[in-house]
Amino acid sequence: MTGPTGGLEVGAEVEVDVTAFAHGGHAIARHEGQVLFVRHALPGERVRAHVTSAGAGERFLRADAVDVVVASPDRVVPPCPWAGPGKCGGCDLQHVSLTAQRALKAGVVREQLARLAHLEVDVEVEPVPGDDAGLDWRSRVEFAVDDAGRAGLRRHRSHAVVPVDHCRIAAPGVDRLEVTEHPWSGLEAVDAVAPSLGEPVAVRVPEDGSGPVVRERVTTSWSGADGTTVTFDREFAVDARGFWQVHPGAAATFLAAVMGELDVRPGERALDLYCGVGLFASALAEAVGPTGQVVAVESDPSATEHARANLADQPQVAVVTARVDDAFGVARPSRRGTGRRSSAPRRAARSPLLPPSADVVVLDPPRTGAGKAICAEVARLRPRAIAYVACDPAALARDTAILAEAGYRLDRVRAFDAFPMTHHVECVATFRAG
């Protein structure tokens, strides 16, 4: 089935050879000059692809592999019966062996750094302690609710709800809530949360009043600046629907990676940007000691309220409730074309709590990355080291290029498989001046 210009159109099926794996969890194939991003396929395979949608300007097509003509040796039977074309969209790599999943993700990180930052970096995706098979790890799952009140998971690129029996990557505590076995009439979603401390909770969305608060414990260790082993063991309060790493081993793993690279010394000044409820700020405070200073910035008021409580015994920490760009006094872009009454850029004054310089900086931005303005402001602080925690390799690569222009070289990248069975990968990058 072809469109008016001779290319494939939505609904068409065609046999294609898969040549590569792309950022976003799709394999790449071509048919008569058209690029197809094919889910549920692997490089080296020949598949029958069903075209599901067209990209902007029909420059590319999205498709599902509905039949495998020639299979890759890395292909396995998906452990979840709800994974596959037209089913749950949460896991896009259930058909791939765990070792091959990590190899594909490492390739994506390398490709993004090469394409966007012009750096050739050898990256290996490391497993996160806590799961051996890539299943039973996700401690926070949002179940969508359909018009009939049934809870399930969303189909890929759709609002349709797939009424699964249970999620195979969900932690046992999530499964114990049996969310999919109960009616939830009148709700949009149910968030199932299995914290490391206490009982799992099911949060109704929308909530009636304030949601529950859960407690998470982080225990880990790393080598300090003097070569001795530093042990960290601390509890954190966080809103059940607030941000916390969903893999039980992720928070400890990322914290050890960051602190092990920064070599924070007593008396130093540190910044924790996008600080959440204070995980990195707390470890930084222990490292700089009572003669040092930590400034933690977070835009979410509830998170900063918890951060102040979590860090109440560490008076060397100042928690600032603000967007990071506002805290630096960076003007937000104009909103022309949005239909809003005011189209002028928002002017911001630099927070007096932000110091003029810093020895070390931790950046843990959202998926879009820190961006040019924030990277420039961080560089102006002239830290000796920057630790960047990234949930998107493309955003990391873009910001790596920006930091390089500002005089900061990429010293090391570690990648972690914090989201098995999905295309997502977490990176911890270290930058140093010079």
pLDDT in tens, 104-161: 999 999 999 999 999 999 999 999 998 889 999 999 999 999 999 999 999 998 999 9
The answer on pLDDT for 334 being more than 70 is no
**By mean pLDDT, which of 47-56, 277-286, 320-329 is the weakest?**
47-56
417 in the same domain as 371:
yes
372 in the same domain as 243:
yes
Q: pTM surpassing 0.85?
A: yes
Average pLDDT over all residues of the chain = 93
By C-alpha distance, which of 219, 138, 131 is closest to 179?
138
Confidence of residue 5 (pLDDT cuts 50, 70, 90): very low
Which residues are tagged catalytic?
Answer: 391
By C-alpha distance, which of 276, 272, 312, 304 is closest to 288?
272
Residue 237 lies in a domain: yes
Count of all residues that appear for the chain in the document: 434
The answer on pLDDT for 6 being more than 80 is no
25 in the same domain as 162:
no
User: Which of 205, 235, 260 is the last residue in one of the domains?
Assistant: 205
Residue 97 lies in a domain: no
198 in the same domain as 226:
no
User: Which of 185, 205, 225 is the last residue in one of the domains?
Assistant: 205
263 in the same domain as 245:
yes
CA distance 234 to 361: 21
Residue 357 lies in a domain: yes
Overall average pLDDT of the 358-375 stretch: 97
Q: Count the domains in the chain.
A: 3
By C-alpha distance, which of 291, 265, 116 is closest to 108?
116
Residue 2 lies in a domain: no
- Which of residues 208 and 80 earns the better pLDDT score? 80
171 in the same domain as 70:
no
Using alpha carbons only, give the angle 279, 213, 294 rounded to the nearest 5 degrees. 25
Q: How confident is the model at residue 4, as a pLDDT?
A: 41
CA distance 410 to 406: 12
CA distance 220 to 256: 7
Write the CATH number for 58: 2.40.50.140
Q: How confident is the model at residue 132, as a pLDDT?
A: 84
CA distance 153 to 27: 23
What percent of the chain shows pLDDT beyond 90? 88
Domain that holds residue 233: 213-331+343-433
User: Which of 23, 51, 75 is the last residue in one of the domains?
Assistant: 75
Alpha helices in 228-329 (DSSP H): 250-262, 279-288, 301-310, 324-327
Write the CATH number for 385: 3.40.50.150
